[in-house]
Structure 1
Amino acid sequence: MSMRELVVLGTASQTPTRARNHNGYVLRWDDEVILLDPGEGSQRQLLHTGVTATDLTRICVTHFHGDHCLGLPGTIQRLSLDRVPRPVAVHFPAGGADYFARLRHASSFHETAELAVEPISADGQRVALRGGGILEARRLRHPIETYGYRLVEPDGCRMLPQRLAAYGIAGPAVGELRRVGHLDVGGRRVTRDEVSVTRPGQRFAFVMDTGLCDNVYALAEHADLLVIESTFLASEAALAAEVGHLTAGQAARVATESGVRTLVLTHFSQRYGDVRRFADEAREHFAGELVVAEDLATVPVPPRRVPSAG
């Protein structure tokens, strides 16, 4: 049975706190288990979640600020220690290739794991995933080269039993109609579109460390689950703009304008002791499902939208 969920490893920003580890997230998506922005301590956080290094199929790094990448050395070494039996893809900004090389070989170890290193060029990146779907990276606005990610599942179709029955289509013929796109029945050609409706594919978006820009909205567009930084509150909006970050209100407005279903706020500045203030601010702008992320929490991807039969 397929599983689609976000596992939160850490939710702090530049400085961890007693309650919040540096960044780190795992997306379980069917055959893919993607580690996103492993900050310092991510390897230990994984031990609390049931996700193992052996599970990982790829690693995505948005940029090379320490709170988003200092967990890479331990994670990469753990892949070798556990002798992961398949290549693990690693995506990161091409301009940070030197940083990645230093982190990969930060200390002496016996390297047995195979990494498929896939730097992201200035034009972004589109990668086909195992089991279908596209992983896309787009440039964000931050003082250093930074990319956000989104995963897009192609639209499918849902066959309508009543319409199939009306044409006398049943059993193996349904599978043939779905696969081929048409079926000749009783001297008439029945097309797949006549007996089905489009089933929208699911979308996941991951937006870290950025000021507002067009690609924030492009990544978030129609996301079923949007994980987005909300480093500051509106009282520090000027500071947020200066250093290339978002406020909770800005993140919430992005979600509303982009048609997001579930909004996950994270990457909180250590200056705030009570993160309920982030929820209060976001609620002024977003009416959908809202999650203020906590370390070691699990957030399910919402069920697929139910298509209308028309």
Structure 2
Amino acid sequence: MKFEVTILGSSSATPIFNRNPSAQVLNVNERLFLIDCGEGTQQQLLKNGIKAQRLNHIFISHLHGDHYLGLVGLLSSLHLYGRTRPMYVFGPPELKEILDIQFKYSQTELRYPLEFYATQAEKNELIYENPDIRIETFPLEHRIPCTGFRFNQKKRLPKIIKEKVEELGIPIEMIPLIKRGIDFTDKKGVVHAAAELTQEADPPRSYAYCSDTICNWKYIDQIQGVSTLYHEATFMHDMSTRAAETFHTTSLEAAQIAAKAGAEQLLLGHFSARYRELEPLQEEARTVFANAKLALEGHTFAV
């Protein structure tokens, strides 16, 4: 099952050095989830060959402009494209008022239903579930209410052994039943145990998104054991005082968080405009966590 994230924007506050504000698309078994929607997200979708019409779920972490100012434009364009399917938007309660007033004064009545779900920044919450995935929120600590998101794959059914299908002439309609543990009886009356015809599916993967937060360690339990952690790394650690003043994290702290959480992979993002070159942030993080990578725009990472 495909489980990967494409970075559309990883700059903090303002677009600079060809870096755009926060936005990324998570692909879960060909279902696309947009996480944050900074200015320029539409252009980044086009640039990366991702059709906006494929989006059905959008998650906004908090109401600083670099995380949501592209949302009204994206929703408006989908209206102009003739979309009729519902769009599900998850974000702070006040975001609904922002959207309503924008559409009110532009006299825009969307052609499609906009289903809004208010997130709760002060507690953990299960906000979405389908057969493939569970999505949970958890509190972060920023200057304004902010939530993190964790996407957890569900355990998959065992995989059928293709060679056995061919060898025993197993009908296609039997395969789903075998995966669910039902034995197969061949034409000679011989029973073949489902366990002998299948193998364990790949272990479930998980992805956690920590947008803007001070390093307070309070959310370690919520990201524990995550396969891939995206974490803001606005500053290098020589700017730790500035990071604390602005409720941000340094690249060294992000690496410490990843290590303490037992993450397998760390993606660093939300880079300050003071850094034209980003490799020093990665080098700093790797002194603590070897598998730290830069969330560079246009790059797709397997979760």
Q: Do both proteins adopt the same fold according to a TM-score greater than 0.5, normalized to the shorter chain? A: yes
Check whether the contact 1:230–1:246 (CA below 8 A) recurs between aligned residues: yes
Shift in Å at residue 191 of structure 1? 8.5
What is the alpha-carbon distance in structure 2 between the residues aligned to residue 219 and residue 227 of structure 1?
A: 13
The residue correspondences of 1:19-98 to structure 2 (distance < 5 A) are: 19-98=18-97
Q: Report the secondary structure of 2:254's partner residue.
A: helix
Does 97-106 or 50-59 show the bigger shift?
97-106
- Give the count of matched residue pairs: 295
What is the alpha-carbon distance in structure 2 between the residues aligned to residue 157 and residue 79 of structure 1?
A: 36
What is the alpha-carbon distance in structure 2 between the residues aligned to residue 10 and residue 105 of structure 1?
A: 29
Alignment correspondent of 1:306: none
Letter in 1 for 2:246: V
Alignment correspondent of 1:152: 152
1:220 to 213, 220, 223: 223
Shift in Å at residue 225 of structure 1? 2.2
Alignment correspondent of 2:136: 136
Q: Report the secondary structure of 1:37's partner residue.
A: strand
Q: Which runs of 5+ in 2 are unaligned?
A: none
What is the alpha-carbon distance in structure 2 between the residues aligned to residue 242 and residue 212 of structure 1?
A: 11
Letter in 1 for 2:77: R
Check whether the contact 1:124–1:137 (CA below 8 A) recurs between aligned residues: yes
Alignment correspondent of 1:308: none
- Residues 206 and 175 of structure 1: CA distance in aligned 2, closer, same or farther (over 3 Å): same
What is the alpha-carbon distance in structure 2 between the residues aligned to residue 94 and residue 189 of structure 1?
A: 55
What is the alpha-carbon distance in structure 1 between the residues aligned to residue 231 and residue 84 of structure 2?
A: 32
Check whether the contact 2:131–2:154 (CA below 8 A) recurs between aligned residues: no
What is the alpha-carbon distance in structure 2 between the residues aligned to residue 78 and residue 246 of structure 1?
A: 34
Check whether the contact 1:149–1:219 (CA below 8 A) recurs between aligned residues: no
Check whether the contact 2:86–2:113 (CA below 8 A) recurs between aligned residues: yes
What is the alpha-carbon distance in structure 2 between the residues aligned to residue 59 and residue 253 of structure 1?
A: 29
* Pairing 1:18–2:20 present: no
- Residues 93 and 124 of structure 1: CA distance in aligned 2, closer, same or farther (over 3 Å): farther
1:266-310: CA deviation from partner (whole Å, max 9, x where unpaired)? 10011122211111111101122x321222x222324xxxxxxxx
Shift in Å at residue 132 of structure 1? 2.1
What is the alpha-carbon distance in structure 2 between the residues aligned to residue 103 and residue 28 of structure 1?
A: 29
Alignment correspondent of 1:305: none
- Residues 199 and 53 of structure 1: CA distance in aligned 2, closer, same or farther (over 3 Å): closer
Check whether the contact 2:179–2:194 (CA below 8 A) recurs between aligned residues: no
Check whether the contact 1:142–1:210 (CA below 8 A) recurs between aligned residues: yes
Q: Which runs of 5+ in 1 are unaligned?
A: 303-310
Alignment correspondent of 1:298: 299
- TM-score w.r.t. length of structure 1: 0.82
Shift in Å at residue 259 of structure 1? 2.4
Letter in 2 for 1:98: E
Q: Report the secondary structure of 2:37's partner residue.
A: coil
Does 57-66 or 147-156 show the bigger shift?
147-156
When the two chains are superposed, the root-mean-square deviation of aligned CA atoms in Å is: 3.1
What is the alpha-carbon distance in structure 2 between the residues aligned to residue 35 and residue 256 of structure 1?
A: 26
Shift in Å at residue 229 of structure 1? 0.7
